[in-house]
Amino acid sequence: MAWDPCGLSKINAFVLARTGIIYLSLVTLRKELLENMHEELCHVGAVIVYQTLAFKYHWKHLFADVMRHCLHDCTTCMEYNLKKDIVP
């Protein structure tokens, strides 16, 4: 592998790794990773999903993507929040 002054190495043409953080540039890979992590963490909430992802991954608007997915795109979380808001 050639020396890179920025400390970046190219992996699979769309993932860049630097100091243990993986920078994702492919949108479909980001979405798949986000959905899988959210499911794996059993829909714990946006902040924990963000913290877990940010520990190892990074991309532009990571926090906004996590918030959008957890609050607007995940049907399981939307159903739970709807039931929680209904007062018997």
pLDDT digits (tens, 9 = 90+) for 10-27: 554 456 555 667 777 778
CA–CA separation, 79 and 74 (whole Å):
9
Q: Would you say the pTM of this structure is higher than 0.85? A: no
Whole-angstrom distance between the N-terminal and C-terminal Cα of the chain?
63
pLDDT at 85: 67
Kindly give the parts of the chain with pLDDT less than 50: 1-8, 12-13
Cα distance between residue 24 and residue 33, in whole Å: 10
- CA dist., res. 29 & res. 62, Å (int): 13
Domains of the chain by residue range: 26-85
pLDDT at position 3 is 39
pLDDT score for 46: 92
Residue 15 has φ and ψ, to the nearest 5°, of -120, 125
